[in-house]
Structure 1
Amino acid sequence: MSRAEEAQVRLRPALAGVPSYQAGRPAPIVDGRIGYKVSSNENAYPPLPSVLQAVRTAAASINRYPDANVTRLRTALAGTLGVPIEHIATGTGSVGVLGQIIQATCDPGDEVLYAWRSFEAYPVVAGIAGACSVQIGLDGQARHRLDAMAGAVTDRTRVILLCTPNNPTGPAIKHDELSEFLDRVPRNVLVVIDEAYAEFVTDPDAANGLRLYRDRPNVALLRTFSKAYGLAGLRVGYAVAHEAVASALRTTATSFGVNSLAEQAALASLAAREELQQRVDAIVAERARVLAGLRDCGWEVPDAQGNFVWLSTAERSNAFSALAKKCGLTVRQFGDEGVRVTIGEAEANDLLITVARQFAGAPAHSLSTHSSPGRSS
Structure 2
Amino acid sequence: MTDESRAQSSGIHPRPVVGRLPKYAAGKPPVAVEGLESFKLSSNENPLGPVPAVMDVLRGNVDIHRYPDTSSTALRNALADFLDIPATDVVTGAGSLGALNQILAAFAGQNDDGTPDEVVYAWRSFEAYPICVGLAGAASVQVPLKADGTHDLPAMAAAVTANTKVLLLCTPNNPTGPVLHTAETEEFIRSVRSDVVIVIDEAYQEFVRDEEVVDGIAMYRKYPNVVVLRTFSKAHGLAGLRVGYSVSQPELTQYLRAAATPFAVSGIAEQAAVASLANYDQVVERVQSLVDERDRVTAGLAALGWDVPDAQGNFVWLNLGPDTPEFAALADAHGLSVRAFGSEGVRVSIGEVEANTRFLEICASYTKAPRRS
Shared fold (TM-score, shorter chain, > 0.5): yes
Instruction: Give the Cα–Cα distance (whole angstroms) in 1 for the partners of residues 67 and 122 of structure 2.
Output: 39
Match of residue 353 from structure 2: 346
- Equivalent position to 1:101, from 100, 103, 123: 103
Instruction: Give the Cα–Cα distance (whole angstroms) in 1 for the partners of residues 33 and 282 of structure 2.
Output: 34
In structure 2, the CA distance between the partners of 1:7 and 1:337, relative to structure 1 (3 Å rule), is closer
Match of residue 43 from structure 1: 46
Instruction: Give the Cα–Cα distance (whole angstroms) in 1 for the partners of residues 302 and 58 of structure 2.
Output: 42
Q: How far 1:261 sits from its partner (Å)?
A: 0.6
In structure 2, the CA distance between the partners of 1:245 and 1:294, relative to structure 1 (3 Å rule), is same
AA aligned opposite 2:277: L
In structure 2, the CA distance between the partners of 1:5 and 1:202, relative to structure 1 (3 Å rule), is closer
- Equivalent position to 1:196, from 200, 203, 216: 203
* Conserved 8 A contact 2:50-2:276: no
> Aligned pair 1:17/2:20, yes or no?
yes
What CA deviation, in whole Å up to 9, does each residue of 1:34-55 have, x standing for no partner? 1010000000003222111112
AA aligned opposite 2:280: R
AA aligned opposite 2:349: T
**6-15 vs 163-172, greater mean Cα deviation:** 6-15
* Conserved 8 A contact 1:297-1:360: no
Instruction: Give the Cα–Cα distance (whole angstroms) in 1 for the partners of residues 10 and 47 of structure 2.
Output: 49
SS of equivalent residue, structure 1 residue 331: strand
Give matches, 1:63-74, under 5 Å: 63-74=65-76
Instruction: Give the Cα–Cα distance (whole angstroms) in 2 for the partners of residues 329 and 344 of structure 1.
Output: 10
Give matches, 1:1-377, under 5 Å: 8-57=11-60, 59-108=61-110, 109-360=116-367
**320-329 vs 14-23, greater mean Cα deviation:** 14-23
Q: How far 1:76 sits from its partner (Å)?
A: 0.6
What CA deviation, in whole Å up to 9, does each residue of 1:267-326 have, x standing for no partner? 000001001100111111111100010111121011000000001111101110011110
AA aligned opposite 1:307: N
**188-197 vs 29-38, greater mean Cα deviation:** 29-38
Instruction: Give the Cα–Cα distance (whole angstroms) in 2 for the partners of residues 265 and 208 of structure 1.
Output: 25
AA aligned opposite 2:309: P
In structure 2, the CA distance between the partners of 1:219 and 1:30, relative to structure 1 (3 Å rule), is same
Instruction: Give the Cα–Cα distance (whole angstroms) in 1 for the partners of residues 96 and 298 of structure 2.
Output: 27
* Conserved 8 A contact 1:97-1:238: yes
Q: How far 1:254 sits from its partner (Å)?
A: 1.6
* Conserved 8 A contact 1:298-1:360: no
Q: How far 1:10 sits from its partner (Å)?
A: 4.8
Q: How far 1:361 sits from its partner (Å)?
A: 6.8
SS of equivalent residue, structure 1 residue 333: strand
Q: Which runs of 4+ in 1 moved over 3 A?
A: 4-7
Q: How far 1:16 sits from its partner (Å)?
A: 1.4
In structure 2, the CA distance between the partners of 1:8 and 1:361, relative to structure 1 (3 Å rule), is closer
Q: How far 1:65 sits from its partner (Å)?
A: 0.8
Q: TM-score, normalised on structure 1?
A: 0.93
Instruction: Give the Cα–Cα distance (whole angstroms) in 1 for the partners of residues 127 and 224 of structure 2.
Output: 27
Q: How far 1:250 sits from its partner (Å)?
A: 1.9
* Conserved 8 A contact 1:299-1:360: no
Instruction: Give the Cα–Cα distance (whole angstroms) in 2 for the partners of residues 219 and 61 of structure 1.
Output: 37
Q: How far 1:5 sits from its partner (Å)?
A: 9.0
Q: TM-score, normalised on structure 2?
A: 0.94
Instruction: Give the Cα–Cα distance (whole angstroms) in 2 for the partners of residues 268 and 5 of structure 1.
Output: 48
Instruction: Give the Cα–Cα distance (whole angstroms) in 1 for the partners of residues 361 and 175 of structure 2.
Output: 21
How many aligned residue pairs are there?
A: 358
Give the RMSD, CA atoms, in angstroms: 1.4
**320-329 vs 352-361, greater mean Cα deviation:** 352-361
What is the percentage of aligned positions where both structures have the same residue?
51
In structure 2, the CA distance between the partners of 1:32 and 1:111, relative to structure 1 (3 Å rule), is same
What CA deviation, in whole Å up to 9, does each residue of 1:186-233 have, x standing for no partner? 010000000000000000011111111102110010000000000000
Instruction: Give the Cα–Cα distance (whole angstroms) in 2 for the partners of residues 297 and 236 of structure 1.
Output: 39
Which 5+ residue runs of structure 1 have no aligned equivalent?
363-377
AA aligned opposite 1:245: L
* Conserved 8 A contact 1:224-1:238: yes
